[in-house]
Amino acid sequence: MNLKFTISYDGSSFFGSQKQPNKATVEDELLKIFKSINIETKIILSGRTDKDVHATKQVFNCEIPEYWSDLEKLKTIINKRVNPSIKIVKIDKVASDFHARFSAKRRVYRYLITQKELNPFNTKYITYVKNVDEELLKNAIKEFIGVYDFKYFHKTGSQKEQTKREIFDTKFYKYRDIYVFRFEANSYLRSQIRLMVGFLLAINDKKLTIDDLKNQLNLTKRSFKTPTISNGLYLAKIKY
């Protein structure tokens, strides 16, 4: 039977989500646990996340023998055995043609920043920004909505023939002492969100302007080679 798994994980504990030779990944860890309970299967992730990218509701599907009909029991067994940096949130039985990657309609990412000084327990999970101009960032992030060629917003050396993407929605808001950049699109280029956030923070610091962002999005002028902001990126939700 085809099962859909919703999982969360701490990305700092792995070299990304997708299986890689001689590196500990989320997929490797899950396959190891399946094998320990005599399940040989292939995992299909909704998409890859890189090292240090966390997930609150990543999705994968795989074929599981029919005798595992008690999905709550299966969830409990896996959560007891799996690396504590991974948690199975939910398991659902789905149609045989469900594909975690190709059936996905939208992917939601969040990037977290704060003005509070960091400590050893949260430095991997959020980025410190001394001053936040909330209104400026609310206006600037809206510029990403639409269809653009993001050739200047993906990792150098990452080969993508097609760099056009459509971003359906963006938001910047505050929740308690945390500021959230939220992006919703069907797919993204490698490091695209980190580079977009880097540009937005350069606008926040008055090093760049919203006009500079418009120029770079329209390929009129590459205003800034944006830094890759490191900590605070989360795959938040997959919409089907």
Q: Where on the phi/psi map is residue 105: left (φ > 0), alpha (ψ -120 to 50), or beta?
A: alpha
> Strand 164-175 vs strand 146-149: parallel, antiparallel, or unpaired?
antiparallel
Residue closest to 144 by CA, chosen among 162, 172, 170: 170
Q: How far is CA 182 from CA 27, 210, 227, in A?
A: 26, 18, 19
- Rounded to 10°, the helix 134-141/192-204 angle is 140
Question: What is d(CA 125, CA 209) in angstroms, rounded to the nearest whole number?
Answer: 27
Residue with token string 């971003």: 167
State CA 214 to chain mean position distance: 24
How big is the chain, counted in residues?
A: 240
Which positions ≥6 away from 45 have C-beta within 8 Å?
A: 17, 18, 27, 58, 59, 60, 100, 101
Candidate list 50, 92, 97, 133, residue with the active-site label: 50
Question: What is d(CA 109, CA 129) in angstroms, rounded to the nearest whole number?
Answer: 19
Question: What is d(CA 134, CA 131) in angstroms, rounded to the nearest whole number?
Answer: 9
* 133 in active site: no
- Active-site positions read 50
